[in-house]
Every structure is written in C-alpha cells, then in structure tokens.
Amino acid sequence: MEDSQIIKIENLIKRFPMGKGEFTALNGIGLTFIQGEFTGIVGPSGSGKTTLLNIIGSLDVPSSGSVTVLGRSVGDLGAKEAAKLRKENLGFIFQSYNLFAVHTVYENVEFPLLLLKYSSADRRRMVLDALEWVGLTDKIKSKPPQLSGGECQRVAIARAMVKKPSLVLADEPTANLDADNSHNILKTMEKLNRELKTSFLFATHDDKVISYLRRKIFLIDGRVDKDIVISN
Amino acid sequence: MKLAIKLAFKNLIGAGLRTWLNVIVLSFSFVIIIAARGILVGWDRQAKNDMTDWEIGGGQYWNVHYDPYDAFTLNDAHSPVPEKFISEIEANDMVPVLITQGTIYPEGRMQSILIKGIKPDQTLLELPTHKLDTLVGATPAIIGSNMARTNKLKTGDYVTIRWRDTNGTFDATDICITGIFTTNVPTVDVAQVWIPLDSLQSMLLMPGEATILTYRDREKAREGTADWKVMSFEDLVKDIEAMIKTKSVGQSIFYTILLLLALLAVFDTQVLSIFRRQREIGTYVALGYTRGEVVSLFTVEGAMHAIFAAVAGAIYGIPLLMLLAKKGITLGMSSSDYGFAIADTMYPVYSTGLVIGTTLAVLLATAIVSYWPSRKIAKMNPTEALRGKLQ
C-alpha cells in the first residue's frame, strides 16, 4: 500500500437477498482513494453509492472482493475492530443529520471524544475548535430541534470532524438543505479538507455537491461508469 | 459504563412525560411494597410483644397432657407445681396458671368458657390481676373487654359460673367482675374468666396444682420433668409466625401483580424506544459503539427508571411511610375477629434491610425487563437502522 492510499477496493461485489433471489447492488467495483481527496460517488437512486459508502464505513461487509480502509480489510474485521475503526478514524455525515435531539450542540459534538476517552479539558478545546470551524460557537447550548436544517448539518460536520478523522463519509449531506445552506456547508467542508487534509467521500446526486468535487466517480447499476479527476 | 449512565440519564430526561409516567407507576410499587412489608414486620413485632406481655412471658412449662386446641385434655392437664420452681414463683419470675372448662350464665344465657386461676400478686404478665385481690360478696374475677362485650358484662356485675371438680362433680358459684381489661391478645380474653389461683384450686379440689407455668427469663436454659414439658418462646410464637407467613404470601401476590404492571410499562417503553429510535441506534454504531454497547446503553436506560422511581418514591414515600409508622393503620375489626394477636392499630416497621432489599429487587427486575427487548438491537442491521427503517 502506498503511504497516501487510504482506501483500496478490489472486485467488490455486494448482493442483498430479495424475495427468493438476490439483488446485486455493487458489481465488480475496483477503486483506490488517496489521502486528502474531495471525492464524490455520483449516481441516481439505487445505483449503489450508499451501499459502497456503508462498506467503506465498515457498517456493512462485502459479499465478495476486498475493501481495505486505512490498512484494515473491512470484510475481515470483527464487530469490535470495526467499531474501533469507525470510532478512531472515520467521520459520518448523514442526509438527515442524525443528531441526538435531547443533547445540546456541545454534547453532540463532544460525543465522539467521549468514546475516545479524551480528558475534559481536551474535549472542551476540541469541541470549541470544531464549532468555530463551522461557525456555531454561539449555539453551543442549543438543542437540535431549536436549529435550522443548515445549522443542524453544520453541527453534524463538527461532530464528524472534531476528532480529526482520516476520512469523512458524507451520504447526501445537502439533500435536505436549500441552495444557500448547501453552498455554505460545502464551502465549510472544502475548507476543512484543504486545511486539515481530511479526505471527504460523498455519496450524492446533487449538482451543487458535484460542482465542488475534485474527483467524480459515476456509478450506474452497481458498476463504475466513469472516474473523472478534475485538475486544479 | 459511566458514559452509558450519562447518556441514559440524558435520554430519559429528554423523553419527558413518558419517562415520568413510568417512574411514577414504578415508584408506587416501591412505596406500596415497602409499606405492605413494613406492616407485616410491624405486626410480627407487635404480636410477639403483646403475647410476651400478656400471655407467654419468656416461655412456658405445660403440663404434659395440656393441649390448648383440645378442651377435653384439661381434665387431666394439671399437676402439682414442682418444688424447684417455688423460689422463682415467689420472686415473681414465674406464674402458675390453672385452667379448667366451665360455663357462664350471663342474663340467663349459657356460654362455655375457660376458667383460669392466677395469683393476684403476679407482675410478670400485664393482666390486671391485682383487681382480684379484693373483698366482694362473691369470687372476684377479671375479664377482657371482648368477653365483657359479648356477654354484656360490666364491672360490679355478678354472674354464675359452673364447673366440674377433679372428681367430676358439677358445682357452681357466683363471681363478681372486679376488672375489665383491654388487650390485643384474644387468647387471654375471648371466653375466659380469670379468678384467684387459690380459689380455683379449692373449687377444683386441686391444691397446689397448675396447668401452665409462665416464666420471665427467655435466655435461661430449661429442662422438662415427667409432668412438665418446656415450651420455649419460639415454640409459642410458631403459630403467629405461620399466620404472618401465610399473610405474607398472599400479600406478595398482590404486590407482584402491581410490580408486574409497572414493569410492563417499562417493557413497553423499551420496545417502543427500540422501534422509534432506530436511527439513533444506527448513529451510535456509526460513531463507534458496538451493537453490544448499544444494548447495554438501552438496558441501563430502562433500569434507570427504577433509580428515578426510587428517588421519586423517597420524595413522597418517606414522609408518607413515616406518618404511617407514627399514626399507625387502624383496622375496622377487633383482634378477636382474627383469633390471633393483632392490634386495632398497627404500626409498620421499616428496616434498612427491607428498604435496600426492595430497592435492589425492583432494580434487578427492571434491568431484566429492560434488557429483554434491548437484545433485539444486537440483531439489527446498522445501515437499515441509520435510515430509520423498521426491522
């Protein structure tokens, strides 16, 4: 593995049971990703982009083929090892934010650091830094139901970024946002990508997101159709 | 675990009314179980104290023929008081009682009674036997308030009693009621007339004889003789303990049902949580929890209902239970209706063991019913859970 390579996918096949038969969601995917990419897996609904993201995020396992994330083969990881990989190295951003409604903004962002057993002082510093990145330092005591959709997604970004993971997986992060908020969110993520060298991998079919991507992988019916790298 | 407790606390508080409804129902269980068990403990203590004071002292010697449940044994259940007990009797550390069957004729009616002879100067038992030490125109007698009520007798009344002496000859005399006492121990009250021991001994032609000997010192080692068997304090309270145990079983059924209802509410909440909070469960997994850790979190969350309930129960339960312990619980029935020692007003007793034991039992039961539905999480697909898809 090259030093900068963080994901290596070889002949990935993922099948799901459907009725009496099986549905092939991913069919022979082969890709590599290097550190610091700002990449999107682009395709229509049902093309397999979320499935691919879930496997890379060790939330699911391949039916065959191999997926190596940060040097660890996802298919061979036990539940505890997969949880450790997610806890230490991966950040997730979801379409519907998935924030904890009863916790404040501060507590939501603090959560990954609690799992990593950081000291209270370190947690405070890191949470405030993360909230500053997304411009929400004035909302630390608010709870998600009191925030707008754009603010919620910024909290989700802060939560994903607070531990400075190697890779952030974002599944349709702008799907529930209007155009202004979408651009704000994307600019924030792009800035974090450049400043912190965190890799971002999107699953999206939103043109606004696509316009920000430096690499676009088009998936159709579970196969890679095009892999376009945009030079700066 | 610290994080799970912190999260569970937050989640429960955040759930609002649903949490508090469960907590209130569960806290009722706490308070009622402790109150009910406290009443039994109080009853047990009160019954034993009253029996000690009024009837059994520290224990008794029974004539070997004596059987309190068979009146026919009374004909033979008497023998001279052994010499070795005389000093104890003189020191008022032992009281001989002679018992025979008899009949009383209040207002022309007839009722079977037990006639009991006791020394008027005894101080071992609470019976006001000093009221037998008086000069009236007939044999002085004291009776309990239940006996007085059922036979419409009052102090100063004269009434005829009849008995058979040692030769089987019927005889009769008048007695004068010189005292009426109130007691919680029906076995010294109902259908009983207490007269001076000397009088009964001469009426029965049994000088120096007795049926039972009640002693004061419970700790002293005792041995029986050919005519007398030792009935220890523990032997004598066996019946009341068996009765309380029976009541305890009946009561357990009642509060088990109550607890089950409360636990059902917790179980229901857990099931609902697992269905409604699938996306949250998926998020925990995505952020680095294992599914086992999420199961633990939900189990702690469910079990925490019991901790909240213990606190809520303490807030209103402690003043309520203290009030009950102070004022007591008045029963609508007389002790004689039960046939065993029970006060008209019972004072519950709450021990630390009772409170801690009940709290731990409810906590354990709540943890079990919380864990049960939470196991489903372990089988969940996190990717489906993240999408909030019902599984």
| Coil vs helix vs strand at B227 | coil
The DSSP symbol for B263 reads H
Distance from the first to the final alpha carbon of chain A: 26
For residues A198 and A161, the answer to whether their CB atoms sit within 8 Å is yes
- Distance between CA B182 and CA B86 in Å, rounded? 30
In our burial notation (b when 16+ CB lie closer than 10 A, e otherwise), range A71-81 reads ebebbebeeee
Q: Are strands B170-181 and A199-204 parallel, antiparallel or unpaired?
A: unpaired
Q: Nearest CA of chain A to the CA of B326: how many Å?
A: 43
Q: Nearest CA of chain B to the CA of A84: how many Å?
A: 6
Answer whether A107 touches B (CB < 8 Å): yes
Q: Crossing angle, helix B17-51 and helix B291-327, to 10 degrees?
A: 40
**pLDDT, position B261:** 84
Query: Which CA distances in Å does B384 have to A141, A191, B130, B282, B286?
Result: 31, 31, 87, 8, 12
What residue ranges of chain A have pLDDT lower than 70?
A: 1-3, 232
Tally DSSP H helices, then E strands, for chain A.
Answer: 7, 10
Q: Write down how long chain A is.
A: 232
Two tokens at A61?
């396992």
Number of domains in chain A: 1
Angle CA(A213)–CA(A218)–CA(A221) in degrees, nearest 5?
150
Domain that holds residue A51: 5-229
For residues A155 and A104, the answer to whether their CB atoms sit within 8 Å is no
- Among the partner-chain residues A60, A79, A100, the one whose CB lies closest to the CB of B383 is A60
For residues A157 and A185, the answer to whether their CB atoms sit within 8 Å is yes
Q: Nearest CA of chain B to the CA of A60: how many Å?
A: 7
**pLDDT, position A232:** 61
Q: Which residue of A has its CA nearest to B289?
A: A83
Query: Which CA distances in Å does B344 have to B328, B340, B348?
Result: 9, 12, 13
pTM: 0.72
Chain A CB contacts of B388 under 8 Å are 96
**pLDDT, position B388:** 73
**pLDDT, position B329:** 82
Angle CA(B156)–CA(B160)–CA(B164) in degrees, nearest 5?
140
- Give the domain ranges of chain B: 2-52+240-386, 59-216
Total beta-carbon pairs less than 8 A apart between chain A and chain B: 66
Query: Which CA distances in Å does B14 have to B4, B8, B87, B302?
Result: 15, 10, 75, 14
Q: Nearest CA of chain B to the CA of A99: how many Å?
A: 8
- Distance between CA B377 and CA B385 in Å, rounded? 9
- Distance between CA A88 and CA B322 in Å, rounded? 54
| Coil vs helix vs strand at B383 | helix
Q: Please answer yes or no on whether B3 and A115 come within 8 Å at the CB atom.
A: yes
| Coil vs helix vs strand at B128 | coil
| DSSP code per residue over B49-102 | HHHIIIIITTEEEEETT--TT-GGGGGT--EEPPGGGHHHHHTTSEEEEEEEEE
Q: Please answer yes or no on whether B11 and A102 come within 8 Å at the CB atom.
A: yes
The residues on B that touch A, with CB distances below 8 Å, are: 3, 6, 10-11, 13-15, 279-280, 282-283, 285-293, 381-383, 386, 388
| Coil vs helix vs strand at A199 | strand
Sign of the four-CA dihedral B347, B352, B357, B363: positive
Helix segments in chain A, DSSP class H: 49-56, 79-89, 105-115, 120-133, 149-161, 179-196, 207-212
- Distance between CA B385 and CA B391 in Å, rounded? 8
Q: Which residue of B has its CA nearest to A90?
A: B287
The enclosing H or E element of B31 equals helix B17-51
Q: Shortest CA distance to B259 belongs to which of B305, B205, B206?
A: B305
Q: Shortest CA distance to B144 belongs to which of B86, B107, B188, B199?
A: B188
**pLDDT, position B333:** 57
Domain containing residue A213: CATH number: 3.40.50.300
Q: Please answer yes or no on whether A96 and B283 come within 8 Å at the CB atom.
A: no
Q: Which residue of B has its CA nearest to A78?
A: B290
Q: Shortest CA distance to B378 belongs to which of B307, B315, B293?
A: B293
- Distance between CA B94 and CA B100 in Å, rounded? 20
Mean pLDDT in each 10-residue stretch from start to end of chain B (391 residues)?
Answer: 86 84 87 87 85 93 94 92 93 96 92 96 95 90 94 94 92 96 90 96 95 94 93 90 82 82 85 86 92 90 90 94 88 57 78 88 90 84 79 62
CB neighbours (10 Å) of residue A178? Answer: 12
CB contact residues (below 8 A), chain A span 139-198, against chain B:
159
Sign of the four-CA dihedral B75, B76, B77, B83: positive
Identity at B317, one-letter amino acid code: G
- Distance between CA A84 and CA A115 in Å, rounded? 10
A221: left (phi over 0), alpha (psi -120 to 50) or beta: left
